[in-house]
Amino acid sequence: MKAIFEVKTINAPWKPPFDKVITTETYTVDENESFDRITGNGFDEPVFTFVQSIGQMAIVVYSKTFTLKGLNPSNRRIQLSNGEEMALTYLWGENGITKKITFKGFTYSDATNDSNENNSSEINSNETEVNKSVNSEQDLNQNIEEDNENNNYKNIDNETMIM
């Protein structure tokens, strides 16, 4: 089983004429596989790593060079539901870079695709069903609660958190 992510990169210069360059790439990756790279200013590292799937959700770790817009967990892990988008910013370069990652679902095909290739196929929601693992989901909720306590976050519901 592989996870499919769409990453939209918005590159905005800090000085005039302020022309934005927007690119969108789709990645199909296995668990513990990294994708998308940031290079420049001494950095050459992957931006995202797909850590694991839990039910219909994907757990992704993002690079230390990026900051989430809003909530910033200390372990740099984000939990994405199918179709959910999360925005991150990179402020260390000569241009401001925003990355918007969207989880598109899972694929069960045995076809070998390079994770850096652009994949334009849409995933049918019926093909993305995964058996929920109750223990794994409980572990995830416990980790989120511990992270919230460590960072003084207030948990409104299991998916929305504010400072």
The per-residue pLDDT for range 28-69, each reduced to its tens digit, is: 999 999 999 988 777 889 999 999 999 899 999 999 889 998
Confidence of residue 146 (pLDDT cuts 50, 70, 90): low
Mean pLDDT, the chain, as a whole number? 74
DSSP codes of every residue in 71-102: ---TT-EEEEETT-EEEEEE-SSSEEEEEEEE
Q: What pLDDT does 82 receive?
A: 94
Mean local confidence (pLDDT), 128-137? 34
3-state class (DSSP) for residue 45: strand
Q: What pLDDT does 151 receive?
A: 46
Residue 144 has pLDDT above 90, yes or no: no
The per-residue pLDDT for range 91-124, each reduced to its tens digit, is: 777 788 999 999 999 998 655 444 334 333 333 3
Q: What pLDDT does 156 receive?
A: 38
Q: What pLDDT does 121 receive?
A: 35
Q: Are 119 and 66 in contact (CB under 8 A)?
A: no
Any idea where the domains of the chain sit in the sequence?
Answer: 2-110+125-130
Q: What CATH architecture is 2-110+125-130?
A: Sandwich (2.60)
Q: What pLDDT does 138 receive?
A: 45
Distances, alpha carbon 89 to alpha carbons 32, 38, 137, in Å:
22, 12, 28
Sign of CA dihedral 125, 22, 112, 66: negative
Overall pTM > 0.85? no
